[in-house]
């Protein structure tokens, strides 16, 4: 009997490659989220350090209008950076969710194809066993008639 051949083998291989690509894209998106969060932490630390420096100057009572305006500009700039970074993190998280959904979809497709391949293989094995049994029955019948005659 001929060797088992799954007709959708090419589709299975392509789907596996798509899964691998989707995993890479998910990992990239996850890394991007982590880097964006890290940058936000840095911005928050810079803001906190600016507040400490400002508090140290004001406790001495030797602050000028120019220094006050400089700190005010710095804090406004940092707040704007923090707000932009938070928005960027939300965009990165949305992209990561999109990549995750794509990966789940591909993995479900792959699972279906693999289940179909397993089912077809089981059918093939049943046919092979049936054919072998037919041959054995024929041989047994021939031996029986030879011994009878």
pLDDT tens, the chain, 149 aa long: 678 899 999 999 999 999 999 999 999 999 999 999 999 999 999 999 999 999 988 888 778 899 999 999 999 999 999 999 999 999 999 999 999 999 999 999 999 999 999 999 999 999 999 999 999 988 888 888 888 86
Q: What angle do CA 54, 55, 58 make, to 5 degrees?
A: 85
Q: Is residue 68 part of a domain?
A: yes
Cα–Cα distance between 149 and 139 in angstroms, integer? Answer: 16
- pLDDT at 149 (0 to 100): 64
> Does 148 fall in a domain?
no
Residue 86 lies in a domain: yes
pTM: 0.77
**Predicted pLDDT of residue 1:** 65
Task: State residue 36's pLDDT score.
Answer: 98
How many folded domains does the chain comprise?
1
Instruction: Judge whether 123 lies within some domain.
Output: no
Residue 3 lies in a domain: no
The DSSP symbol for 7 reads T
Q: Is residue 136 part of a domain?
A: no
- CA–chain centroid gap for 134, Å, is 49
**Residue 88: predicted pLDDT:** 98
On whether residue 36 sits in a domain, the answer given is: yes
For residue 37, the model assigns a pLDDT of 98
Q: Tell me, yes or no, whether 29 lies in a domain.
A: yes
Quote the domain boundaries for residue 69.
9-117
Spatial neighbors of 19 by CB under 8 A, at least 6 apart, are: 103, 106, 107, 110
CATH number, domain of 32, equals 1.10.287
Q: How many Å apart are CA 108 and CA 18, to the nearest integer?
A: 12
């Amino acid at each position: 009997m001929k060797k088992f051949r799954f007709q959708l083998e090419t589709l299975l291989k392509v789907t596996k490659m798509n899964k691998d690509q989707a995993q890479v894209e998910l990992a990239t998106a996850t890394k991007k989220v982590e880097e964006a969060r890290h940058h936000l932490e840095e911005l928050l630390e810079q803001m906190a350090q600016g507040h400490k420096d400002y508090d140290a100057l004001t406790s001495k009572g030797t602050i000028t209008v120019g220094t006050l305006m400089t700190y005010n500009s710095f804090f406004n700039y940092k707040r704007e950076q923090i707000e932009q970074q938070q928005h960027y993190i939300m965009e990165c998280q949305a992209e990561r969710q999109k990549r995750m959904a794509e990966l789940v979809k591909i993995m479900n497709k792959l699972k279906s194809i693999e289940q179909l391949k397993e089912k077809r293989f089981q059918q093939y094995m049943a046919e092979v066993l049936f054919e072998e049994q037919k041959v054995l029955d024929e041989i047994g019948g021939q031996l029986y008639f030879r011994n009878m005659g």
